[in-house]
Amino acid sequence: MAPLWRLSLPAAKLDDSLADRRVKASILSILKLSQGSFPFRYLGCWISPYRIPMCKFKPLVDKVDSRLAQWKSLSLSMAGRITLANSVVMSMPAYTLNTCAIPDTILDGITRSVRKFIWSSNDKDKALYLINWRTVIEPKSEGGLGIRDLKMMRTSLLAKHALELINRRDKTWVYLMEDKYGKLCPWNITDHTNISWTYRTMIKVTKVITPYIAPLNIHMCDSILHFPWLFDTPICFKPTFINIDYDLSGMQLRNITDEGKWDQAIIDNLFPLEVNELIREKKFSSEEIQEKWVWTSGTGGATLTSAIYDTLRTKTGERAWMGWKKTLETTCGPKG
pLDDT tens-digit map of 222-279: 888 888 888 888 888 876 677 778 888 888 888 888 887 888 888 888 888 888 888 8
Dist CA 129 CA 125 (whole Å): 12
187 domain residue, yes or no: no
237 domain residue, yes or no: yes
223 domain residue, yes or no: yes
Distances (CA, A) of 130 to 90, 98, 116, 121: 20, 32, 11, 14
pTM: 0.76
Rg for the chain, CA atoms, rounded: 26
Task: State which residues form the domain around 231.
Answer: 217-291
Q: Who has greater pLDDT, 9 or 278? A: 278
238 domain residue, yes or no: yes
115 domain residue, yes or no: no
Domain count across the chain: 2
Q: What is the pLDDT of residues 77-126, one digit of tens each?
A: 888 888 888 888 888 888 888 888 889 999 999 998 888 888 876 666 66
254 domain residue, yes or no: yes
226 domain residue, yes or no: yes
20 domain residue, yes or no: yes
Residue 288 has pLDDT above 80, yes or no: no
Q: Who has greater pLDDT, 164 or 14? A: 164
